[in-house]
Amino acid sequence: MNRIRLIALTCAALGAATPSMAQKGPKIDVQALANQYIVASFLPGEGQDLSRLKQDETIQACNQYRDNPPDKVAAAINEREAKTIKYPDGGKLMGDWKNGEKLYAGGFGMRIGRIEPDPPARQKGGNGGNCYACHAADPKEIAFGTLGPSLMGYGKLRGTGDDIIKYTYDKIYNAQAFTACSQMPRMGYHGILRPEQIADIVAYLISPDSPVNK
């Protein structure tokens, strides 16, 4: 019974990793075909940016294994992504929690194209982090999303030690340094948030004065 279960589990795992194996006849590289479709479907020209479609080595691996990479691949991703993390000038990882609060809720920025691009005039303060769209934090905010875990009471639960501050900064900068193929965007790596902005969000999550920890 256990052996049968094990075989079934193994098959399921393989199926998830290589969907094309279930197909009959000559093996088709479905992902390669999907990538060809992408090349043929996104528009070039003014206001567009086709470089955003480029899949880096890490995302290619995540796509190949549908976000469930084998241990060796996962370790390589962690190592590669950890190397991308940069820190603010002066190295201060706890910034201004009040600005962090705005960044946590602000979802504006980086939408492009010919139809409805974000107006550059509104871009001046940089992008928002849009963190609340996926993570609860402030107990007073009811419109939080649930795609990511709740961060309510983050600092109260974890303390304000240097190690937790650094972990939090690194996690926001590049979540894949810890969890290969994490669903969380690599906020620092992709330049969505600047290092100083990430430090502000760290303060929002950790500072005892922040509403997150009230």
Partner 1 sequence: MTKLKTLAAGIALLMPALGMSQELKTADEYRAALQDKFANPATLIADRGESLFKEKRGPKNASLEKCDFGKGPGVLKGAFAELPRYFKDTNKVEDLESRIVTCMVTLQGFTEAEIKAKLFGSQQVNEPNTDLEVLALYIALQSDGMKINPPLKHPKEKEARMVGEALFFTRHGLMDFSCATCHASDNKRIRLQELGNFVGNKKDAQKTMSTWPTYRVSHGLARNMQHRMWDCMWQMRLPDVDYASPVTVALISFLTDQARGATLNIPGIRR
Could you list the residues that contact partner 1 (CB under 8 A)? Answer: 19, 23, 28, 30-31, 33-35, 37-38, 40-44, 48-50, 52-55, 59, 62-63, 66-67, 110-116, 132-134, 142-147, 183, 185-186, 190-192
Nearer to partner 1, 2 or 146 (CB): 146
86 or 114, CB closer to partner 1? 114
d(CA 136, CA 97): 16
Residue 163: how many CA atoms within 13 Å on its side-chain side? Answer: 2
Q: Is 208 helix (H, G, I), strand (E, B) or coil?
A: coil
Q: Which residue has the tokens 């948030």?
A: 193
Chain position carrying tokens 């492009």: 112
Nearer to partner 1, 49 or 209 (CB): 49
DSSP sequence for 92-131: -----HHHHHHHHH-------SSSSPPPGGGGTT-----G
d(CA 205, CA 45): 40
Dihedral of CA atoms 147, 148, 149, 154 in degrees, nearest 10, equals -140
Q: Rank residues 44 and 90 by Cβ distance to partner 1 and give the closer one.
A: 44
Minimal distance, residue 49 CB to partner 1, in Å: 6
Q: Least distance in Å: CB of 185 to partner 1?
A: 4
Question: What's the closest the beta carbon of residue 96 comes to partner 1, in angstroms?
Answer: 25
Question: Burial level of 190, CB count in 10 A (0-12/13-18/19+)?
Answer: middle
Separation of alpha carbons 122 and 124, rounded Å? 6
Nearer CB in complex with partner 1: 166/190: 190
Question: 10 vs 183, which CB is nearer to partner 1?
Answer: 183
